[in-house]
Structures are given as C-alpha cells and as structure tokens.
C-alpha cells in the first residue's frame, strides 16, 4: 500500500518535473528564437558581434553586460524585451560610472548608436520595472546585443 502510494507520488512528481522541464526548455528556445527573429534584425545595418546575451527576467530583476568598444569603430547597442514584460529601462554606463545613455520605460528607445573615440569599456544595465501588486510573475526574454560596423 505504502509502496503504491510512493510510486504514485513519484509518478506525479515526475510529471510535474517533466512539465517544468518542457516549459523551461521551451522558454529557453523561445528566447533564442525571439532574439534571432526580433532582436538581431534590428541591429541592421550593423553586424551582430555574435555574442548571445539574453536572459529570462521578471519584474524587479536586473541584467548587466560588460562590453569593450574599440577606438574608431561604430557600434549599435540594442536592448529588446519580450512584449510580456512591457517596456524595460536600460542605460549605458562608462568606465567613470557616468551614464552615457538612458532609456526609461515611459519613453523607450530600443537602441543607441555610438562611435568610440578611444578604446573603452562600458556596461549596459537593464532593469524590468515592477508592475503593481500581482501574484502572477511574468518572466520574459530580454536580449542585450551589440552590433558593429565593418570599416
């Protein structure tokens, strides 16, 4: 009797885990597919620098990407978020911790184009605004991509 209950419990457990795994795998694949279909085309005419920085974020969460910009090169920094998250906030911060560019959710901009006068490191910080009180936590893909221009 106890063995049967344990088996049933294990089976239920397995299905729950299987469902979660399928959902996680599906969400992950959707993030890649979202980045490929929605984000990468927005880099044009810049060439994607081929580094896939994307994360599943929820409201209140933050992501940061550290980037190197080489002198004389032109770049496009692009942030694209899945519509389920709504608009996200993001900023580009230089090595002196000074904000070079900022896009807030109420006046969103998907990208920022720049030319590096000298080689420098900067970081992109993205944070998803909280949306009031709700038991539902929406998790969505946020891609932070860098494009460069071939000289």
Partner 1 sequence: MIVKRMNRWPVLLALMPLFAACGGGAEQETLTVDDQSTATQEERMRKTKKIFYNIPSPMETAGLLKDAGADYDGKILNDVKNVDRYTSASKQALNLGVYGADLSYASVFNHTQESMFYTSCSKKLADKLGVSHAFNDSTIEVMQKNQNDREALLDVISETYWSVDAYLKENDRENISALMVTGGWVEGLYIATQVAAVKATPELRQRIAEQKLSLNHLSGLLNSYTTPDPALDAARADVEKLTAVFADVELPMGDGGTTEENGVTVVGGTAPAATLTDAQLAAIRETVTAIRNNYIN
CA distance 76 to 145: 8
Closest CB to partner 1 among residues 132, 151: 151
Q: For partner 1, which residue of 74, 87, 102, 110 counts as binding (CB under 8 A)?
A: 74
Q: Binding of partner 1 at residue 61 (CB under 8 A)?
A: yes
Closest CB to partner 1 among residues 26, 104: 26
Stretch that binds partner 1, among 54-62, 78-86, 102-110 (CB under 8 A): 54-62
Show the binding pattern over residues 3-32: x = contacts partner 1 (CB under 8 A), - = does not: -------x--xx-xxx-xxx-xx--xx-xx
**Closest among 139, 129, 143, 118 to 53, alpha carbons compared:** 143
Torsion angle of alpha carbons 121, 104, 26, 22, nearest 10°? 100
Spatial neighbors of 69 by CB under 8 A, at least 6 apart, are 75, 114, 116, 119, 120, 121, 122
Q: Binding of partner 1 at residue 44 (CB under 8 A)?
A: no
* DSSP one-letter code for 104: B
CB contact at 8 A, 112 and 92? yes
- The β-bridge relationship of strands 74-81 and 62-69 is unpaired
H or E segment at 103? strand 99-103
Q: Binding of partner 1 at residue 79 (CB under 8 A)?
A: no
Show the binding pattern over residues 85-114: x = contacts partner 1 (CB under 8 A), - = does not: ---------xxx-x-xx----------xxx
Q: Binding of partner 1 at residue 49 (CB under 8 A)?
A: yes
Look-up of token digits 């005419």: 45
Q: Binding of partner 1 at residue 68 (CB under 8 A)?
A: yes
- Which residues in this chain contact partner 1 in the complex, by CB under 8 A? 10, 13-14, 16-18, 20-22, 24-25, 28-29, 31-32, 35-36, 40, 47-58, 60-74, 94-96, 98, 100-101, 112-122, 137, 144, 146, 148, 150-151
């Amino acid at each position: 009797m106890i063995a049967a209950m344990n088996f049933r419990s294990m089976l239920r457990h397995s299905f729950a885990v299987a469902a979660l795994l399928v959902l996680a795998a599906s969400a992950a694949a959707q993030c890649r597919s979202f980045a490929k279909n929605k984000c990468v085309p927005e880099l044009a005419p810049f060439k994607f620098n081929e580094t896939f920085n994307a994360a599943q974020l929820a409201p209140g969460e933050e992501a940061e990407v550290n980037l190197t910009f080489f002198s004389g090169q032109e770049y496009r920094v692009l942030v694209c978020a899945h519509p389920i998250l709504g608009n996200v906030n993001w900023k580009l911060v230089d090595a002196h911790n000074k904000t070079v560019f900022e896009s807030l959710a109420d006046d969103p901009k998907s990208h920022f184009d720049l030319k590096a006068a000298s080689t420098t490191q900067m970081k992109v910080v993205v944070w998803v605004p909280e949306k009031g009180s709700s038991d539902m936590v929406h998790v969505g893909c946020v891609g932070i991509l860098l494009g460069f221009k071939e000289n």
